């Protein structure tokens, strides 16, 4: 086997030498023979002739030798390829339409696959990534099942103290903003918070220094930090130089003990890390920690799972669930699964969609090849009868498909690269693309495989059709004969399939578009025009007490209000269209408090509502007197009134939150929030919200909330947005020069960001669906215009016999309409039963939304009618006499 393969490869690649060798071998034979014969007494001329005669036809011998070496097939293949290329050059329109279709569809598949590869297939950039897991829990609640990857401090203590054979560390996956100051260089940085041993569990070696010790990961521990290499280079000119240096991070001086290596990548995008200092209190009292687990050396993943299984009882106890209706089960989930949770489904749906487009494109090409087959019957019949037979024709056809596919793959790789770059640009705004997406061997191999599959898809059917060729008929009919009835029916079936597939894609795209439009069309409850917001991290040692926070707000807002052009200014913990802080509260019932509940809570300064034009519906807004010296008050929104107060008189009701009983003094309009799980089943919603004056916020709230949220300064002004932004920056810097802003955004862009993901999904699906529609319509048009051409003569005769033009046109166009109807019906039915896959991505629209289905059906039938009528209308231009004269 090997010997043959080696010999074959050798002869293929040293083809010229093989031929030369044969020549000299033959020459040597003839010369020796001649000499031999001369020795036997023949004269030279006669001897030479005799030698030649005895040898036989050298060309035939040579051919047999080639065959002996397995070169026959490669020779034939080469001939077929060059013939296929010639054929393409001779029919540039055909070549262009096929290659464009293939290039676009293969390119789209390549682009999407490169993203799929980067996220779903490529392992995480850490050693033995498949062993890295997160502790996760399946939760049964009265509202239904849920999963959680975040845990409280007590859960961590159970894992740390009782689990055996596991390397575990705790971290916060909510990376927070930090204010980094070195000398007078001040910048906003992303601060990660990790427990001792985190990097060794991850499997990452420090570039310099070490990671946090258990001692440093406690409240008594020294204030230390780890830097990413880029920041170490930027600040100190290298990893070694950074060790032992001090930085001022969020008002606290920290000593650098370690620097991460170049190329370290993390999904959370941190610049600097500090010890987490896990505890049962504060953030540790809620589910705010992630627990990273790697089985110790020699322990299998299965054993690790079993170990977690043994700890169910203590873990469940530590989870401290409400007694009624809740149960919890802990397990291990691969880290990768967690990291791709948000991107996985949209990506798989996109992949499915480009796959469908590829199929539609291939169907189109199959149609084109079938049509061409009709025109080539004579050529193929001649070929088959001259030798090689049907098998040779089949090989010829398949080679042509392969050549098309190969060219399509080349084009597809190029277009796919561009598409990948574009996708990356579009996607990075709504998904965190932390792994590089590149064109590796896997992507190229997948593209080649796609091309091969495509060539089979569009090549097999025409080839099968070619096998049915009736030689005698094809030869006798001359060039006029087209594919028989069978091939017609077949092309019609292809068109119906195409229409059905594109209807499915169009409906999917329509539903995603409706989702996006729904989100964008939600009543914002604010007037976003001319509003700018800037965020500052106050998770800062200098803002631990409430007075300093309030002083910062008062000083900066006073200055802002005196800036010419500024109309209203305020500060809020979170903005509309963002996720808000969840806190507990209880309604006051007489002197008693009702049961504890959880809702969105936002602290604001008095100017906030006017800056965003949030309407006051009842009572009053906050004013400067709502401070710690006056009775605690609270504002609620309409959704809160509807949900918790019903018909009770709002303004006489009190409630308790953040350790104080507060009087409700007014009701404001709803704004959109990004709900957390369980509040509203939608990416945006009018969540019941409590507004608390910043002047009456407890110190504990500030500390608690600022760990996760950077408060926003909001300004409504007559100024251009950049000027308003710099006014905010100046005002805050006049109060504290060491507070960097992380970002400034217009309120409109805050809103746009909240639906960016749905917009991206809708746009991508629309592009693909449009491509599919175009391909399907081109296919339909092709079939009808070919029919119109073929039936010219028949129609001419009919017209001569008295049929109207309209009748003739309809007769030709009719099959197109039937195909469109059939395809649309099949597609709509398919979508109806299959659209469930989109359920998670849809909001404000049902997967069986009648409007979307109706619109798509009407659109498709309309376009299909045009595509059928336009080519048929050509028949109106013919006159019967002209047709009959041509006969």
Partner 1 sequence: MSKTASFLPGMLEMLILKAVSLGPAHGYGVLLRIEKICGQAFEIEQGSLYPALNRLEHRGLLSSEWGLSDNNRRAKYYELTVAGEKRLKIDSRRWTRLSQAVAGALKTKPEEI
* Closer residue to partner 1 (CB): 41 or 649: 41
Nearer residue to partner 1 within complex by CB, 48 or 542: 48
Nearer to partner 1, 28 or 836 (CB): 28
**Binding flag, residue 620, partner 1 (CB under 8 A):** no
Number of residues interacting with partner 1: please give it, by CB under 8 A. Answer: 30
- Part of the chain binding partner 1 (CB under 8 A), chosen from 16-24, 77-85, 548-556, 779-787: 16-24
Of 19-27, 241-249, 647-655, 789-797, the segment contacting partner 1 by CB under 8 A is: 19-27
Closest of 535, 536, 554 to residue 738, by C-alpha: 536
Based on CB atoms, which residue is closest to partner 1, 18 or 708? Answer: 18
Single residue of 9, 13, 23, 31 touching partner 1 by CB under 8 A: 31
Is residue 167 a contact partner of residue 525, using CB atoms and an 8 Å limit?
A: no
Q: With contact defined as beta carbons under 8 Å apart, do 445 and 282 qualify?
A: no
Strands annotated E in 131-279: 133-141, 144-148, 166-182, 185-194, 208-209, 224-227, 246-249, 252-259, 272-275
Which of 22, 95, 471, 616 forms a contact with partner 1 (CB under 8 A)?
A: 22
Q: Is 21 in the site for partner 1 (CB under 8 A)?
A: yes
Q: Phi/psi of residue 225, each to 5°?
A: -155, 155
E-strand spans in 296-421? 327-334
Q: Is 355 in the site for partner 1 (CB under 8 A)?
A: no
Cβ closest to partner 1, residue 14 vs residue 143: 14
Shortest reach from residue 20's CB to partner 1, in Å: 11
Which residues from 41-70 bind partner 1, rule CB under 8 A? 54-58, 60-61, 64-65, 67-70
Binding flag, residue 14, partner 1 (CB under 8 A): no
Minimum gap (Å) between residue 10 Cβ and partner 1: 10
Query: Is residue 3 exposed (0-12), middle (13-18) or buried (19+ Cβ within 10 Å)?
Result: exposed
Closest C-alpha among 229, 204, 228 to residue 132:
204
d(C-alpha 459, C-alpha 398), whole Å: 6
Nearest distance in Å: CB 387, partner 1: 20
Minimum distance from residue 15 beta carbon to partner 1 (Å)? 14
Q: Would you say 7 or 473 has its CB closer to partner 1?
A: 7
Half-sphere exposure of residue 787: CA atoms within 13 angstroms, side-chain side: 28
Q: Quick count: other Cβ atoms within 10 Å of Cβ 553?
A: 21
Contact residue for partner 1 among 26, 94, 174, 832 (CB under 8 A): 26
Cβ density class 732-769: b for 16+ within 10 Å, e for less: bbebbeebbbbebbbbebbbbebbbbbbbbbebbbebb
35 is an interface residue for partner 1 by CB under 8 A: yes
Distance of CA 799 to the CA centre of its chain: 56
Kind plus residue range of the DSSP H or E element containing 746: strand 741-746
Closer CB to partner 1, 6 or 630, in the complex:
6
CB of 81 to partner 1, least distance (A): 24
Structure tokens belonging to residue 281: 């209190």
Output 40 or 591, the one with its CB closest to partner 1: 40
Task: Figure out which of the listed residues 29, 78, 329, 372 binds partner 1, where binding follows CB under 8 A.
Answer: 29
Q: Is position 20 an interface residue for partner 1 (rule: CB under 8 A)?
A: no
**23 contacts partner 1 (rule: CB under 8 A):** no
Pick out residues in 70-89 that bind partner 1 (CB under 8 A): 70
Q: Is 25 in the site for partner 1 (CB under 8 A)?
A: yes
The single residue among 3, 313, 386, 801 that binds partner 1, judged by CB under 8 A, is 3
Could you tell me which of 668, 671, 580, 566 has the C-alpha nearest to residue 617?
668
Helix or strand (DSSP H, E) at 600:
strand 597-604
Nearer to partner 1, 61 or 756 (CB): 61
**Which of residues 61 and 186 has its CB atom nearest to partner 1 in the complex?**
61
Least gap, CB of 24 to partner 1 (angstroms): 6
Residue 61 C-beta: closest distance to partner 1, Å: 4
Which residue, 72 or 677, is less far from partner 1 as judged by CB?
72
- C-beta separation of 515 from 762 below 8 A: yes
Give just the sign of the alpha carbon dihedral 435, 440, 442, 446: positive
Q: What is the C-alpha separation between 205 and 633, in angstroms, rounded? A: 53
- Is position 616 an interface residue for partner 1 (rule: CB under 8 A)? no
- Residue 23 vs 839, nearer CB to partner 1: 23
Contact region for partner 1 (CB under 8 A) — 24-32, 179-187, 331-339, 684-692?
Answer: 24-32
Our CA dihedral for 520, 521, 527, 530, rounded to 10 degrees, sits at: 40
Nearer to partner 1 among residue 10 and residue 620 (C-beta):
10
Closest to partner 1 by CB, 2 or 323? 2
Residue 316's φ and ψ, nearest 5 degrees, are: -60, -35
Report the nearest approach of partner 1 to the CB of residue 44 (Å): 15
Q: Which residues of 409-427 are buried (b: 16+ CB within 10 A; e: fewer)?
A: bbbbbebbbebbeebbeeb
> Minimum Å distance from CB 392 to partner 1?
22
Part of the chain binding partner 1 (CB under 8 A), chosen from 18-26, 163-171, 394-402, 703-711? 18-26
| Residues 492/819, Cβ–Cβ less than 8 Å | yes
CB-nearer residue toward partner 1: 60 or 441? 60
> Judged by CB under 8 A, does residue 320 bind partner 1?
no
Binding of residue 471 to partner 1 (CB under 8 A) = no
Does 327 participate in binding partner 1 (rule CB under 8 A)? no
Write down the least CB distance from residue 52 to partner 1, Å. Answer: 10
Nearer to partner 1, 57 or 591 (CB): 57
Q: How far apart are CA 814 and CA 784, in angstroms?
A: 9
Out of 15, 33, 210, 520, the residue judged to bind partner 1 by CB under 8 A:
33
In this chain, which of 9, 14, 28, 49 binds partner 1, going by CB under 8 A?
A: 28
CB of 73 to partner 1, least distance (A): 14
Q: DSSP readout, 619-635? A: E----TT-STTS--EEE
CA triple 825-831-835, angle to 5 deg:
165
**Can you give the three-state secondary structure of 635-702, one letter per residue?**
EEEHHHHHHHHCCCCHHHCEEEECCEEEEEEEEECCCCEECCCCCCCCCCECCCEEEEEHHHCCHHHH
Say whether 750 sits in a helix, a strand or coil: helix
Binding site residues, partner 1, CB under 8 A: 2-4, 6-8, 21-22, 24-26, 28-29, 31-33, 35, 54-58, 60-61, 64-65, 67-70
């Amino acid at each position: 086997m090997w010997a043959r393969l080696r010999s074959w490869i050798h002869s293929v690649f040293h083809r010229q030498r093989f031929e030369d060798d044969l020549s000299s071998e033959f020459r040597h034979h003839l010369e020796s023979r001649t000499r031999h014969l001369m020795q036997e007494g023949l004269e030279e001329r006669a001897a030479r002739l005799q030698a030649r005669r005895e040898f036989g036809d050298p060309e035939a011998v040579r051919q047999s030798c080639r065959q002996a070496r397995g070169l026959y097939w490669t020779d034939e293949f080469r001939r077929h390829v060059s013939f296929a290329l010639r054929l393409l050059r001779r029919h540039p329109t055909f070549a262009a339409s096929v290659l464009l279709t293939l290039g676009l569809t293969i390119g789209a598949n390549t682009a999407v696959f490169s993203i799929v590869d980067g996220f779903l297939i490529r392992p995480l950039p850490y050693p033995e990534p498949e062993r890295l897991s997160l502790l996760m829990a399946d939760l049964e609640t009265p509202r239904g099942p849920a999963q959680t990857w975040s845990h409280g401090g007590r859960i961590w203590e159970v894992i740390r103290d009782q689990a055996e054979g596991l390397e575990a560390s705790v971290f916060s996956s909510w990376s927070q903003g930090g204010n980094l100051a070195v000398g007078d260089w001040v910048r906003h940085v992303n601060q990660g918070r990790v427990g001792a041993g985190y990097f060794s569990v991850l499997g990452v070696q420090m570039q310099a220094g070490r990671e946090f010790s258990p001692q440093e990961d406690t409240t008594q521990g020294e204030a230390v930090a780890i830097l990413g290499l880029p920041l170490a280079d930027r600040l100190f000119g290298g990893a070694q130089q950074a060790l032992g240096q001090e930085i001022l991070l969020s008002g606290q001086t920290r000593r650098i003990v370690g620097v991460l290596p170049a190329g370290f990548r993390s999904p959370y995008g941190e610049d600097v890390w500090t010890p987490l200092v896990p505890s049962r209190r504060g953030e540790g009292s809620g589910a705010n920690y992630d627990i990273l687990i790697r089985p110790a050396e020699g322990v299998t993943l299965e054993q690790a799972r079993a170990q977690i299984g043994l700890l169910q009882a203590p873990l469940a106890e530590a989870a401290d669930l409400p007694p009624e209706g809740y149960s919890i089960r802990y397990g291990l989930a691969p880290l990768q699964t967690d990291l791709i949770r948000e991107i996985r489904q949209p990506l798989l749906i996109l992949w499915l969609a480009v796959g469908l487009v590829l199929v539609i494109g291939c169907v189109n090409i199959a149609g084109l090849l079938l049509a061409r087959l009709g025109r080539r019957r004579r050529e193929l019949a001649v070929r088959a009868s001259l030798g090689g037979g049907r098998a040779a024709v089949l090989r010829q056809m398949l080679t042509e498909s392969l050549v098309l596919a190969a060219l399509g793959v080349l084009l597809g790789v190029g277009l796919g690269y561009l598409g990948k770059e574009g996708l990356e640009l579009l996607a990075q705004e709504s998904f965190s693309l932390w792994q590089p997406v590149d064109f590796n061997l896997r992507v190229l191999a997948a593209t080649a495989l796609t091309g091969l599959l495509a060539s089979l898809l569009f090549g097999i059917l025409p080839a099968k059709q070619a096998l049915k060729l009736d030689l005698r008929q094809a030869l006798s009919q001359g060039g006029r004969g087209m594919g028989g009835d069978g091939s017609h029916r077949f092309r019609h079936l292809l068109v119906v399939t195409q229409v059905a597939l594109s209807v499915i894609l169009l409906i999917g795209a329509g539903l995603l578009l409706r989702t996006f439009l729904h989100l964008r069309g939600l009543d914002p409850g604010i007037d976003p025009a001319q509003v700018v917001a800037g965020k500052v991290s106050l998770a800062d040692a200098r803002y631990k007490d409430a007075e300093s926070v309030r002083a910062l707000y008062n000083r900066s807002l006073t200055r802002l209000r005196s800036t010419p052009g500024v109309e209203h200014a305020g500060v809020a913990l979170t903005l509309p269209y963002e996720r808000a802080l969840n806190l507990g509260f209880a309604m006051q019932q007489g002197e008693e408090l009702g049961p504890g509940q959880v809702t969105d809570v936002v602290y604001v300064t008095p100017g906030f509502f006017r800056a965003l034009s949030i309407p006051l519906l009842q009572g009053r807004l906050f004013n400067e007197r709502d401070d710690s010296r006056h009775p605690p008050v609270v504002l609620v929104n309409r959704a809160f009134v509807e949900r918790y107060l019903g018909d009770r008189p709002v303004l006489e009701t009190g409630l308790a939150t953040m350790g104080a009983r507060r009087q409700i003094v007014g009701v404001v309009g709803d704004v959109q929030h990004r709900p957390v799980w369980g509040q509203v089943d939608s990416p945006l919603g009018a969540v019941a919200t409590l507004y608390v004056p910043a002047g009456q916020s407890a110190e504990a709230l500030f500390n608690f909330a600022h760990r996760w949220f950077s408060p926003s300064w909001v300004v409504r002004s007559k100024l251009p947005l950049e000027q308003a932004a710099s006014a905010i920056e100046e005002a805050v810097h006049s109060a504290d020069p060491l507070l960097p802003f992380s970002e400034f955004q217009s309120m409109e862009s805050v809103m746009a960001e909240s639906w960016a993901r749905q917009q991206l999904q809708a746009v991508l699906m629309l592009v693909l669906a449009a491509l599919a529609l175009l391909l399907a319509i081109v296919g339909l048009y092709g079939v009808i215009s070919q029919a119109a051409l073929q039936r010219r003569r028949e129609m001419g005769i009919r017209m001569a016999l008295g049929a109207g033009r309209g009748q003739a046109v309809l007769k030709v166009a009719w099959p197109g309409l039937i195909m469109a109807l059939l395809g649309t019906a099949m597609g709509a039915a398919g979508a109806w039963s299959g659209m469930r896959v989109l359920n998670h991505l849809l909001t404000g629209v049902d997967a069986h939304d009648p409007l979307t289905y109706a619109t798509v059906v009407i659109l498709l039938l309309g376009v299909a009618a045009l595509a059928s009528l336009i080519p048929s209308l050509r028949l109106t231009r013919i006159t019967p006499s002209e047709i009959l004269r041509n006969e």
